[in-house]
Amino acid sequence: MTAAAVPTTDPYRLVRLALRLDAVVTAVNGLAYLALAAPINDLLGLPVGLQYGIGAFLTVYGVAVWLIARPARVNRAATLAVVALNALWAVVSVAELAIGGLEVTTLGTVWVLMQAATVGGFAALQWLGLRKAG
């Protein structure tokens, strides 16, 4: 068998993919909050000031997650931190709605729940990727 015929497998493929998807979605979401704060407020009821803070955080966080996904061997501790932060974001989002901390429109409620589910999904996929990588 030649070297070209030997299949290569990347044990970090799934976790890297999950991190990259998370990074892109997060950064784009953050930039949207920054650029479209007023229309988003009208549609979802999310206060403009809150959007600016969240938008800045999400943009920086998205870049950081992308950088974590770059090395050939993904840093396990950094990825676990992303998993934990993503899980925390999902839980806090739902809790804020449940206790009335976010006074949003009906569409805003749906948006926050969809974001929580997406971020929780990223956390689960990242965790699964770490487990598969060993």
Q: How many of the other CB atoms lie within 10 Å of CB of 42?
A: 12
Cα–Cα distance list, 55 to 15, 49, 76, 123 (Å) = 25, 10, 26, 20
7: pLDDT strictly greater than 70? no
Residue range 16-60, pLDDT digits in tens = 999 999 999 999 999 999 999 999 999 999 999 999 999 999 999
Report field, pTM of the whole predicted structure over 0.95: no
Q: Per-residue confidence at 2, pLDDT binned at 50, 70, 90? A: low
- The whole-angstrom distance between residue 121's C-alpha and the CA centroid of its chain comes to 9
Residue range 115-130, pLDDT digits in tens = 999 999 999 999 999 9
